[in-house]
Amino acid sequence: MITLLRSLRIPPLLVLLVLLATAHPVTAGVLWCKSDPIISLNGTLVDVTVDIPLDKVPLVIGPVAYTIQTPASVVRSVVLSDPGFNAKGITVRFTNRDGGIDGKRMLTTVKVTVPLDKTQLPAGTTVPARLTVFPHNGTPVVVEGTTDLTRVTLWITGQ
């Protein structure tokens, strides 16, 4: 991604401004920031987005970890990824599940964790996270969880 930005001669400040522009207000005046790889499952583009509160972004200490579980027969790939929070990167790991094929539909579970420096938080504090899975041929599904683990299982239709 960084090599692509350099080859396109996109200044780092512009990238930062674009990332900050993705922060958006939600309930109770909380600003959210997102990380979002785009994956392909049997030819269907799927935008997977995790949002965390903007004020917690400085606590991110490593790559956002996405685990995508589908039946083994599904053709899976990462199409595009962003630099993650604080440019710590992202990891996408595909795993297999038994069953879960119904014609062109595939049962898919998406799990995400965001590593935080919890020494900067009061003991027992959990940080909210919101996971959106948007198959480009379907309807977005949004679930709430925490940075420790947020997950959703849904049917995605391949091409």
Report the SS3 class of residue 22. Answer: coil
Tell me, what's the pLDDT at 30? 80
Residue 29's pLDDT is 72
Please give the tally of structural domains in the chain.
Answer: 1
Average the pLDDT over 103-128 and give the result. Answer: 96
pTM of the predicted structure, to 2 decimals:
0.81
User: Look-up: residue for tokens 């960084």?
Assistant: 2
pLDDT for position 61: 97
What local confidence, expressed as pLDDT, does residue 28 receive?
A: 56
For residue 133, give its domain range: 2-157
pLDDT in tens, 6-52: 444 544 444 443 444 344 444 457 899 999 999 999 999 999 999 99
pLDDT(56) > 50: yes
Provide mean pLDDT across the span 96-102: 95
How large is the average pLDDT for residues 86-94?
97
Distance CA 131, CA 144 (A): 6
Cα–Cα distance measured from residue 57 to residue 40, given in angstroms and rounded to the nearest whole number = 27
Q: Average the pLDDT over each of 18-27, 78-87, 99-108 and give the range with the smallest value.
A: 18-27
Q: For 116-154, how does the pLDDT look when each residue is reduced to its tens digit (9 = 90+)?
A: 999 999 999 999 999 999 999 999 999 999 999 999 999
State how far the Cα of 8 lies from the Cα of 34, in Å rounded to an integer.
23
